[in-house]
Structure 1
Amino acid sequence: MSNDSNSNIATADALTLLLHNQHALGAAIEEVTRWLSENGVEDVAENAIAAMETLDTNARAITDAITRLRQS
C-alpha cells in the first residue's frame, strides 16, 4: 500500500468520525428544537432548524469526500 493510499485512508477515517459527530450534533439540536417548539420559543427553534440544515448540507459534502478518498 502506498503512502498516498495510507494518507487517503487516514483522511477518510478522520472524516468519517467527523461525520458521526455531525450526526450526533444534529440529533441533539433536533431534540432541543422540539423542546423549544413545544415551549413557545418558535424564533429560536427556527434558528436551530437552520443550523440543522447547515449540518445536513455539510454532511453530504463530507460523505462525498469520504467516498472519493476511499475510491482512490
Structure 2
Amino acid sequence: MPNSDLLPSLLFKINQNQLALEAAILELTLWVEQRGSAEVAGNVRGALDTISKNEEFINLSLAVLMAPE
C-alpha cells in the first residue's frame, strides 16, 4: 500500500479518536456540572463546540479522500 493510500485511513482514525475524546470530555463535563461547577462546565462546552462545528467539514473531507477514483 503506497503512503498516499494511508493518509485517508490515518485521518479517519485520528477523527475517530477526536470524537471519542469529545465524548469522554463531555461525560466529565456533566460530572463536574452536577457537582456545582457550572462555570467550568460552560468553558469546556465552549471548547467542545469547536469540535462539533468542524465535524461536518472533516467528515465530508474524509469522504472525498476515501472515495475510489
TM bucket by the smaller chain? Answer: 0.7 to 0.9
Picking from 48, 66, 69, the partner of 1:52 is: 48
Q: Percent identity?
A: 33
SS in 2 for 1:40: coil
Picking from 26, 29, 33, the partner of 1:30 is: 26
Match of 1:21 in 2: 17
TM-score normalized with structure 2 length: 0.82
Picking from 46, 50, 64, the partner of 1:68 is: 64
Tell me the distance in 2 between the aligned counterparts of 1:56 and 1:28.
Answer: 14
CA offset at residue 20 of structure 1?
0.7
CA offset at residue 36 of structure 1?
1.1
Give 5+ residue unaligned stretches, structure 1.
none
Q: Relative contact order: is structure 1 or structure 2 higher (C-alpha 8 Å, sep ≥ 6)?
A: 1
Give 5+ residue unaligned stretches, structure 2.
none
Calculate the aligned-residue CA RMSD, in Å: 1.9
Deviations 1:2-33 (A, max 9, x none): x6xx61x3111011111111111111111111
Tell me the distance in 1 between the aligned counterparts of 2:6 and 2:12.
Answer: 10
TM-score normalized with structure 1 length: 0.79
